[in-house]
Amino acid sequence: MSDDHSNEWYYNVKTGKVEPYEGDKASERLGPYSSPEKAARALEKVQERNEAWDNDPKWNDD
């Protein structure tokens, strides 16, 4: 495993900001993402995935 984290970006859910690998603790962040732009869309991606899972009959436990 490589120790190069130069292309890792995270979305900090506490601050609402994108940060590099050397940021806040892991429990406060989503990622890694391959670019700051992708990290900035982290909450949108979470919402998209939640909606997809909510509408997937394989995951419907009602």
Asked whether residue 51 is domain-assigned, the answer is yes
Asked whether residue 43 is domain-assigned, the answer is yes
Taking the C-alpha atoms of residue 45 and residue 62, their distance in angstroms, rounded to an integer, is: 24
Average pLDDT over residues 4-18: 94
Our count of domains for the chain comes to 1
Residue 36's contacts (CB-CB under 8 Å, 6 or more residues apart) are 9, 18
- pTM of the complete model: 0.78
State what percent of residues in the chain have pLDDT above 90: 66
Q: What pLDDT was estimated at residue 62?
A: 59
CB atoms within 10 A of CB 11: 25
3-state secondary structure of 40: helix
13 touches 28 (CB < 8 A): yes
Asked whether residue 1 is domain-assigned, the answer is no
Domain that holds residue 28: 9-59
